[in-house]
Amino acid sequence: MLIELEGLSKIYEVGTQEVRALSDINMTVAENEYLAIMGPSGSGKSTLMNIIGCLDTPTEGSYRLKGQEVGSLDDDELAEIRSTEIGFVFQTFNLLPRMTAFQNVELPLIYGRAARKVRTDRVWETIDAVGLKDRAHHRPSELSGGQRQRVALARALINQPSILLADEPTGNLDSTTGEEIMQIFRQLNQAGNTIILVTHEQYIAEHARRIVRLLDGRISSDTVS
């Protein structure tokens, strides 16, 4: 099993108050699944995504990624896992504005300490795969929203992660462009990638083969279409 969550909770302390963002989550995700996490804002879906993405750690319970317990790792060990196992796609793309598309895509390889020659080849390959070969040396500000999200996708994919995590990936795109991005996700899933999508839009979630709904920090439904 790729992901195993067991009795997972996340409690924030806001002032003197305890806020339970997640309560007793039990869930598994197999390889090559295409999963959407849905829920209204405040339901805990972002917290869940952050924990799965190793940006945050659970307060209680266990999270095993490829059999390895992740909950007790330190900062740098988590960074290592993010570098090798996770690819993030954000709603606001989160490209670094001073770098070209090429450099943005290359960055995870640099942090992963890949050799220069390997990097260049891999970046071209990946940028080509998202159809942006001729825009590689443009900065994000010179690219359209759809193109930016493709760059972000290429960046997420460059280290060939086990999980592609997308947080409202079409939220800042018009519907046509959004649809194009969803097409790429579909292809990626067909090619064997595991994809976890966080969204509050039903029609986006319907691209996935499994939908997990959260409400008040608990799983309210888990359906496979």
The rounded distance, in Å, linking the Cα atoms of 110 and 134 is 22
Q: Alpha-carbon torsion 203, 208, 209, 214, what sign?
A: negative
Nearest-Å Rg of the Cα atoms of the chain is 17
- Torsions phi, psi for 114 (to 5 deg): -80, 150
**Which one of 1, 19, 30, 110 is in contact with another protein (CB under 8 A)?**
110
CB 65, min distance to another protein, A: 15
* Site string (60-79) toward another protein, x via CB under 8 A: ---------------xx--x
Half-sphere exposure of 57 (CA within 13 A, CB side): 12
**Which one of 9, 23, 62, 94 is in contact with another protein (CB under 8 A)?**
94
Half-sphere exposure of 127 (CA within 13 A, CB side): 22
The rounded distance, in Å, linking the Cα atoms of 153 and 161 is 12
Which residue is it, tokens 């793309």?
A: 93
Would you give the DSSP letter of residue 34?
A: E
Q: Does 84 bind another protein (CB under 8 A)?
A: yes
**Which one of 82, 135, 148, 213 is in contact with another protein (CB under 8 A)?**
82
* Site string (176-215) toward another protein, x via CB under 8 A: ----------------------------------------
Q: Does 113 bind another protein (CB under 8 A)?
A: yes
* Site string (13-52) toward another protein, x via CB under 8 A: -------------------------------------x--
CB 79, min distance to another protein, A: 4
Q: Does 55 bind another protein (CB under 8 A)?
A: yes
What is the maximum span of the chain, computed from C-alpha positions, in angstroms? 54
Read off the tokens for 128. Answer: 């080509």
Q: Does 107 bind another protein (CB under 8 A)?
A: yes
The rounded distance, in Å, linking the Cα atoms of 26 and 4 is 8
- Using CB atoms within 10 A of its CB, is residue 107 exposed (0-12), middle (13-18) or buried (19+)? middle
CB 111, min distance to another protein, A: 4
In the complex, the residues that contact another protein under the rule CB under 8 A are 50, 53, 55-56, 75-76, 79-80, 82-84, 88, 90, 94, 96, 98-99, 107-108, 110-113, 116, 155-156, 159
